[in-house]
Amino acid sequence: TGKCFYTFRGHSAEIVCLSFNPQSTLLATGSMDTTAKLWDLEKGEEVATLNGHSAEIIALSFNTKGDRIITGSFDHTVAVWDVGTGREQNLLIKIPTNNATEGKLVQRRDQCPCLCVQLWNAVTGAHIATLAAHSKEVLDVCFDYAGQRIATASADGSARVYNAGTKQCIAKLEGHEDEISKVS
């Protein structure tokens, strides 16, 4: 019908990303105001505000169970949050802004600065693998719904598909004349 049921207001800056919870009626939004918010789509109200990042949240996604949400920020951190409580569960990545090794985990930027994908165990925070194949920055990454494949999109105009188990590239998708900014 095209009817608008709710307009969600609460962020103090632009919303740059959103994700639907696959197991409930929650919607998550990430904003330039450094927060993520959880919204109940049935009630039309805010459920929780996720505070902790010191810069814009540029990516977020629910896990397949819908009980965790991961956020990525321009503050160089990736955080895992409990959906039920709205509390941060784990800070996965803390990329230092200088040569010091601060934070829980450090991305090896000297080996592939933004040209590769770093895989981390979301529960333990352990580094699993580095997927490197692009000649320019990686702009987006996603898993398939079964968690068996990983797709990457790059400013080099290509996408790659990896086997999540072996970490091997199984497909090179080329043909765009300019960058690929999103993959799903």
pLDDT at 147: 85
pLDDT-based confidence at 181, cuts 50/70/90? confident
Domain edges within the chain: 10-97
Nearest to 53 by CA among 18, 26, 81: 81
Strands (E) across the chain are located at 15-20, 26-31, 36-40, 45-50, 57-62, 68-73, 77-82, 88-94, 116-120, 127-132, 138-143, 149-154, 158-163, 169-174
pLDDT at 104: 33
**Mean pLDDT, residues 146-158:** 92
Q: Is the pTM above the cut of 0.75?
A: no
**Mean pLDDT, residues 74-86:** 90
pLDDT digits (tens, 9 = 90+) for 92-101: 765 444 443 3
pLDDT at 113: 55
Which residue type sits at 4?
C
Q: What is the mean pLDDT of the chain?
A: 85
Residue 73 CA to residue 103 CA, distance in Å, equals 15
Counts of helices then strands in the chain (DSSP H, E):
0, 14
| CATH class of segment(s) 10-97 | mainly beta
Query: What is the bridge-based pairing of β-strands 116-120 and 127-132?
Result: antiparallel
CB-CB contact of 149 with 170 (8 Å): yes
CB-CB contact of 62 with 22 (8 Å): yes
pLDDT at 93: 65
**Mean pLDDT, residues 132-137:** 88
CB-CB contact of 17 with 4 (8 Å): no
